[in-house]
Structure 1
Amino acid sequence: MSLSGALSNALSGLTANSRAATLVASNIANATTESYGRRTLELSSRAAGTSGGVMIGGVVRNTDAAVIADRRFSDAQSGFANDMQSFATRIETLLGESDAPGSLNSMYAAFENALTAAASDPSSTQRLKTVAHAAQGFATTLNTISDSIQAARTDADRSVSAQVSSLNTGLARVRDLNTAIADGATRGGDPSSLMDERQRVIDEMSAIVPLRAVARDNGALALYAGSGTVLLDPSIHRDPVEIGFQPHDPVTAYTTLENGFLSGLTIDGKAINSSNSGLLGGGTLGAQLQIRDTVAVDMQGVLDGVARDLVERFGPGGPDGTLSTGDPGLFTDGGLAFDPTNEPGLAGRISLNALVDPEGTEVWRLRDGLGAATQGAVGDASRLLGYSDALSDLDVPGSSSLGSGASSFGGHVTDFIAAVSAARVRADGEQSFTSARHTALKELELSKGVDTDAELQDLMQIEQHYAANARVMSTVDDLMQTLLSI
C-alpha cells in the first residue's frame, strides 16, 4: 500500500470515529428523552480497487416497531381505564360514605328518623320542622347529585372537543413531518431528529385513539385507528382525514346523542358511530363519549327514577288523603305536580312542597294534610305513620329505569349507591390491570433504547480506533519527512 493510500485509509477511519463519537454523545445525552431513537453509524468498506478504508453509509435510528405498536395500544387502553375510573370515583365521592354526614344514605336516614320522631309526638312543631328540613335536605342532595352528573357530561363534551382538535392538529403535523423526512432522505441528510419528533407527536395522540403506524416509501408513515380506519396514508392521499365535532355547553338531562341534541363524530363530514365501540373508540376519546352518552345518562336515568318513586309515593293516592288528582304532593317537580312524560332530569328539579317550607308557619300540614283547610287534632299521627309506611312499602316503580321488581324506597336508594360503588370497583380493577400492562410495555421499550453503559463501552472502542488511525497518520508523516530529508 502506498503512503497516500495509507493516509487516505486512516483519514476515513478518523472521520468515521469522529462521527460515531458524536452519535454516542447524542445517545447518552438523550437516554431519558421520550420518543428518542438510539443512533448508530452505518459503515461499509470502500469499493474494491481503492486503497481501502471505511465509508459512512448513513445514520441508523434504532427502534423496535412491534414494541412501540403494542405500547401505543396500551396507551389508549390505559387512558380509557383511567378516565372511566376517575368518573366512577367522582360520583362515588359525591354520594359519600354511608355513615358520613351529608351523604345520600345519611340524608335519607335522617328523613326516615325525623318521620318516626314526629309520629311519636305529632303535636311538636319543632319535630314537624325537623321532618321538613330533612325532606328538603334529601331533595337538595338529589339536586346536587343530578347537577354533578350533568357537569361531568359537560366536562366530557368539552374534553371530546379538545381531543378532536388535538387529533386533527397531530395528524396535520405528522403529514408535514412525513414530507420533511422524505425531503431530507432525498438530499442525503439525517432525518433522525424529525423522526423523533414524529414519534413524539404520534405518542401524544395514541392515548386518545389506539393507533397503528405503517411504513411507506421514503420514510413516511401511514396512521390507522385500531378499528382499521384510515387517518393518514400518503400512498392514498396526501392530507389526513378531518375529524368533526360540535361541542354543546352546557349538557343537560334533556340533551343526549340519541335525541339529536348532542353532536357525534364525523370523518370528512360523514357521521360515524360515536360510541366507544365505534371507529375512534378504545382510548380517552371513547371514554369521554362513553361517559357523556352512556354511563352518565344511565346513571341519571336511575337517579330520576328514584326521584320519581319518591314523588309518587307521597303524591295523590298516597298517605295524604287531602290531595286531589293533579295536585303536587309532598315532593314536587319544581313546585308543580309531576308529569310522568317528563321524567328526564327530575332529580335535578325535585323540591319540597312550599306549603310545608320549614321556615314557614304551616308545617302542621305534614300532620293534617297538604290540602287541609284548617289544623286537625294535634295528637293524630296517622298521616306521619302513613308517610313512613309509604317509604317501606314494596311497590313496583313507575320508572322503567328501576326495573320491574317491587321494592321499598330505601331499597332503591341502596341499590343506586351499591351500583355506583360496584362500578367504581370494576373501574379500579380495570385501571390496575391496564396500568400494570402499560408499565411493563413501557419498560420493555426503554430496555431497547439507550443503554448508557453500552454507549460508554462503544466510546472506549471509538477512542482506541481513533488512536490507531492517528498513529497511522503520524507514522506516515514520519516516513514522508524521512523521504523528504533524503
Structure 2
Amino acid sequence: MAANLISIANSGARAARAALDITAQNISNASSDGYVRRSVSLAELAVNSVSAAPTAINLAGVRVAGIVRNADMFRQSEVRRTGADAARADAEVQGLENVEAAVEQTGVYTSIVDFEAALKQLLSDPVDGSLRASALEQGRTLAQTINTAASSLDAAGDGLRFEAQDGVDQVNTLAAELARVNLRLSRASDSSSDQSSLLDQRDSLLEKISTYVDTSTTFASDGTVVLHLGGSSGPDLVNGGTATSLAMATASDGTLTFTLGGTAAGIASGSIAGKNQALAELANVRGQLDTIAAGIITAVNGAQASGVDLSGNAGQPLFSGSDAASMAIALASGSQIATAPAGAGANSRDASNLEAMRSALDSADPAGGMNTLLFGISSAVAGRSVTRDALQSIAGSAKVALEAQSGVDLDQEAVNLTRFQQAYQANGRVMQVASDIFDSILSIR
C-alpha cells in the first residue's frame, strides 16, 4: 500500500513539475511575438492488477498526456484572411495617395488655366511683343508641368513595382522557411515542447505570408501544412519540404503579372495585390494625362496651321510631341504664334485665328479634363480610405479575439504557478507520509 502511495504521489509530482515548467515558459514568453499559450494535458495512469478480474482497472496516479497549445485554427485563419484584406487596402491607398500627389502637386490644372488666360490677354493686342512672349512662356510652363506630372507618375509606378518585388522576395524567403519548419515538424515527437515551438513558428510564418498574398491552408496530423496561393484549389506555394518560387513581371501598361513555378497565378489580396491595384489606377491616370496633353497639342497646332504669324509666314506647330512625356514647345519666339488668319499680311491685328485657337482649346477642354482627373483620383483615395479603415477594424477585432484565447494572462499564470507549486509540495508530502507508514510497519515486532 505504501509503495502504491509513493508511486501515485511520484506521478503527481512529475505532472506538477511539468505544469510548473510550462507555466514558467508562458510567463517568460508573455511578450514574445507569435507565442501561443501552452497548458499541460493530464490523464489517469491505469494498470491492470494480476489478482483482479481481467477487465478491472486500478488507478495508479496521473501522467502527462501532452502539451496543448491554446490556439483556435478557425480564429487563426480569420486573422490571416482579414489581415490580408487590410494589407491590400492599405497598400492600395498608399499607392493612390502617391498618384494623387504626383498629379496635384505639379500644378497641371493651374498651368492650363494660365496658358488659356495668356492667350486671352493676347487678344487685346495681338501684335504686342510682351504679350506674345508671355503666351509662349506660359505654353512652355504648361509643357514642362505636364512633363513633370508624367515623370512623377512614372516615379510613383517605379516605387510601387519596387515595393511589390520586395514583397515577392519576402514571400519566397518566408515560404522557404516554412518548408524547413514542415520538415522539422515531420520529425518532431508528438506533444513535445519542440513540436509546440515549431507550431508557433509555423503559425507566425503563415500570418506573415498572408500580409503579402492571399493563401489557404491544409494541415496534416503531424502539424505540417500545405500552403495554397489563393483558394484551396490554388497552386501550392509550400508543400511538405518544398517551396515553389513566386515571380513577378511588368506588363506593357505598368501593371504586374505573377507566376508560381512558371505557371500563371493570380493574387487577389495582400499588400502585393494592393500595389498592383494602385498600378492599374496609375495606368488609368497616366492615360488620361496623355489624352489631355494630346488634346492640347492637336488643338493648338491645328489652329497654328490655319493662320499666319506676326511676319505673315504660315503658322508652325507651337507644341511638339504626342503625349505628356514628350510634349514640348516647338516655337523659338512669341512672334511665331499664328494670331492672324491665312492670307493676312505682316503685323496684322486681325486676331480671328487666335480666336479659333481658343475655340479649339475650349472644345478640347483640357482644364475640364484635368479637373475630372483630379476629382476622380481624390474620390478614389477617399473611398478606398473608408474601405481600408473598415477592413483594419475587422482585422484588429479578429486579432484581439485570437490573442484573448492564445495570449498569456499573467494574472492567471501567477495563480497557476501557486497552484502547481502547492500540488508539487503536496505530492512530496504524500511520499514522505507513505515512507513513514512503511517504516512504521517494518518497525512492528
Map 1:276-287 onto structure 2 (within 5 A).
Answer: 278=266, 280-287=267-274
Match of 1:389 in 2: 359
Q: Distance between the aligned counterparts of 2:146 and 2:60, measured in 1?
A: 85
Match of 1:142 in 2: 146
Q: Distance between the aligned counterparts of 1:319 and 1:419, measured in 2?
A: 34
Please report how far the alpha carbon of residue 308 of structure 1 lies from its aligned counterpart in structure 2 after TM superposition.
0.7
Q: In 2, are the aligned partners of 1:135 and 1:352 still within 8 Å (CA)?
A: yes
Of 417, 435, 438 in structure 1, the residue corresponding to residue 374 of structure 2 is 417
Letter in 2 for 1:12: S
Instruction: After superposition, give the CA deviation of every residue in 1:302-357 in whole Å (9 maximum; x if it has no partner).
Output: 1111111000110135585139xx98622210xxxx4xxxxxxx1111112242xx
Q: In 1, are the aligned partners of 2:86 and 2:391 still within 8 Å (CA)?
A: yes
Matched, 1:433 2:433: no
Map 1:173-212 onto structure 2 (within 5 A).
Answer: 173-185=177-189, 190-212=194-216
Q: In 1, are the aligned partners of 2:96 and 2:278 still within 8 Å (CA)?
A: no
Unpaired runs of at least 5, structure 1: 339-345, 356-361, 396-407
Distance change >3 Å, CA 211–CA 60, structure 1 → 2: same
Of 80, 90, 96 in structure 1, the residue corresponding to residue 104 of structure 2 is 96
Please report how far the alpha carbon of residue 238 of structure 1 lies from its aligned counterpart in structure 2 after TM superposition.
4.9
Q: Distance between the aligned counterparts of 1:327 and 1:229, measured in 2?
A: 62
Of 228, 247, 250 in structure 2, the residue corresponding to residue 244 of structure 1 is 247
Distance change >3 Å, CA 300–CA 371, structure 1 → 2: farther
Letter in 1 for 2:18: R
Distance change >3 Å, CA 168–CA 35, structure 1 → 2: same
Matched, 1:231 2:208: no
Q: In 2, are the aligned partners of 1:83 and 1:287 still within 8 Å (CA)?
A: yes
Map 1:89-128 onto structure 2 (within 5 A).
Answer: 89-96=97-104, 103-128=107-132
Larger radius of gyration: 2
Instruction: After superposition, give the CA deviation of every residue in 1:241-276 in whole Å (9 maximum; x if it has no partner).
Output: 332335x6xx9xxx337xxxx873222222x25xxx
Match of 2:253 in 1: 256
Please report how far the alpha carbon of residue 387 of structure 1 lies from its aligned counterpart in structure 2 after TM superposition.
3.4
Please report how far the alpha carbon of residue 64 of structure 1 lies from its aligned counterpart in structure 2 after TM superposition.
0.8
Please report how far the alpha carbon of residue 481 of structure 1 lies from its aligned counterpart in structure 2 after TM superposition.
6.0
Of 283, 298, 303 in structure 2, the residue corresponding to residue 297 of structure 1 is 283
Match of 1:9 in 2: 8
Please report how far the alpha carbon of residue 76 of structure 1 lies from its aligned counterpart in structure 2 after TM superposition.
1.4
SS of 1:314's partner is: helix
Q: In 2, are the aligned partners of 1:185 and 1:218 still within 8 Å (CA)?
A: no
Q: Distance between the aligned counterparts of 2:373 and 2:191, measured in 1?
A: 65
Q: Distance between the aligned counterparts of 1:320 and 1:461, measured in 2?
A: 97
Q: Distance between the aligned counterparts of 1:245 and 1:424, measured in 2?
A: 26
Please report how far the alpha carbon of residue 375 of structure 1 lies from its aligned counterpart in structure 2 after TM superposition.
5.5
Matched, 1:60 2:68: yes
SS of 2:170's partner is: helix
Please report how far the alpha carbon of residue 287 of structure 1 lies from its aligned counterpart in structure 2 after TM superposition.
2.4
Q: In 1, are the aligned partners of 2:178 and 2:238 still within 8 Å (CA)?
A: no
Instruction: After superposition, give the CA deviation of every residue in 1:201-251 in whole Å (9 maximum; x if it has no partner).
Output: 1111101111222211322111122333132564xx7523332335x6xx9
Q: In 1, are the aligned partners of 2:341 and 2:351 still within 8 Å (CA)?
A: no
SS of 2:242's partner is: coil
Match of 1:330 in 2: 318
Of 170, 175, 198 in structure 2, the residue corresponding to residue 166 of structure 1 is 170
Match of 2:35 in 1: 36
Distance change >3 Å, CA 109–CA 17, structure 1 → 2: same
Q: In 2, are the aligned partners of 1:75 and 1:206 still within 8 Å (CA)?
A: yes
- RMSD over aligned Cα atoms: 3.1
Unpaired runs of at least 5, structure 2: 49-57
Matched, 1:265 2:258: yes
Q: In 1, are the aligned partners of 2:315 and 2:338 still within 8 Å (CA)?
A: no
Of 359, 364, 381 in structure 1, the residue corresponding to residue 335 of structure 2 is 364
Q: In 1, are the aligned partners of 2:112 and 2:142 still within 8 Å (CA)?
A: yes
Instruction: After superposition, give the CA deviation of every residue in 1:10-65 in whole Å (9 maximum; x if it has no partner).
Output: 22222221221221222233334332221010111111346722111221112111
Higher strand proportion:
2
Match of 1:399 in 2: none
Matched, 1:310 2:301: no
Q: Distance between the aligned counterparts of 1:327 and 1:157, measured in 2?
A: 44
Instruction: After superposition, give the CA deviation of every residue in 1:394-434 in whole Å (9 maximum; x if it has no partner).
Output: x5xxxxxxxxxxxx232212111111112112211221221
Q: Distance between the aligned counterparts of 2:169 and 2:182, measured in 1?
A: 20
Q: In 2, are the aligned partners of 1:163 and 1:208 still within 8 Å (CA)?
A: yes
Distance change >3 Å, CA 374–CA 62, structure 1 → 2: farther
Q: Distance between the aligned counterparts of 1:440 and 1:304, measured in 2?
A: 44
Match of 1:471 in 2: 429
Letter in 2 for 1:89: E
Please report how far the alpha carbon of residue 476 of structure 1 lies from its aligned counterpart in structure 2 after TM superposition.
3.5
Q: In 1, are the aligned partners of 2:7 and 2:61 still within 8 Å (CA)?
A: yes
SS of 1:23's partner is: helix
Q: In 1, are the aligned partners of 2:67 and 2:193 still within 8 Å (CA)?
A: no
Distance change >3 Å, CA 67–CA 316, structure 1 → 2: same
Q: Distance between the aligned counterparts of 1:443 and 1:38, measured in 2?
A: 15
TM-score, normalization by structure 2: 0.86
Distance change >3 Å, CA 283–CA 375, structure 1 → 2: farther
Q: Distance between the aligned counterparts of 2:141 and 2:150, measured in 1?
A: 14
Identity of aligned residues (%): 23
SS of 1:31's partner is: coil
Q: In 1, are the aligned partners of 2:29 and 2:35 still within 8 Å (CA)?
A: yes
TM-score, normalization by structure 1: 0.79
Letter in 2 for 1:245: M
Distance change >3 Å, CA 269–CA 96, structure 1 → 2: closer
Matched, 1:459 2:429: no
Distance change >3 Å, CA 195–CA 147, structure 1 → 2: same
SS of 1:53's partner is: strand
Q: Distance between the aligned counterparts of 1:232 and 1:92, measured in 2?
A: 35
Q: In 1, are the aligned partners of 2:111 and 2:142 still within 8 Å (CA)?
A: yes
Which 10-residue stretch deviates more, 151-160 or 167-176? 151-160
Letter in 1 for 2:179: R
Letter in 2 for 1:83: A
Please report how far the alpha carbon of residue 438 of structure 1 lies from its aligned counterpart in structure 2 after TM superposition.
1.0
